[in-house]
């Protein structure tokens, strides 16, 4: 699988994505948070930031909704 990943390149929204020779994704990662809709209680994924691989830095752009298992909120 790793050998195949090293050969993958694709373009999405005018940005090229690929994996380096080690099989690592070079474009960075989105940080996702399960958020609960207060009106109907449904949960959905929300992008709250990202990880920049070149700078080795985490950026948080949105408030993270923390889950409290004691109150199910």
Q: What is the pLDDT of residues 15-71, one digit of tens each?
A: 888 988 888 888 888 999 988 888 898 888 989 999 988 889 999 987 777 766 665
Q: By C-alpha distance, which of 38, 10, 6 is closest to 24?
A: 6
Neighbour-count burial of 21, counting CB atoms closer than 10 A to its CB (0-12 exposed, 13-18 middle, 19+ buried): exposed
C-alpha span between 50 and 34 (Å, rounded): 15
**pLDDT for position 57:** 93
C-alpha span between 25 and 66 (Å, rounded): 28
Query: Model-level pTM greater than 0.75?
Result: no
Contact 51, 58 (CB under 8 A): yes
């Amino acid at each position: 699988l790793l050998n195949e990943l090293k050969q993958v390149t694709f373009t999405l929204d005018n940005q090229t994505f690929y994996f380096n020779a080690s099989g690592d994704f070079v474009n960075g990662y989105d940080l996702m948070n399960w958020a609960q809709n207060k009106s109907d209680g449904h949960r959905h994924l929300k992008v709250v930031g990202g990880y920049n691989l070149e700078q080795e830095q985490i950026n948080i752009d949105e408030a993270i909704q923390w889950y409290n298992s004691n109150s199910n909120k």
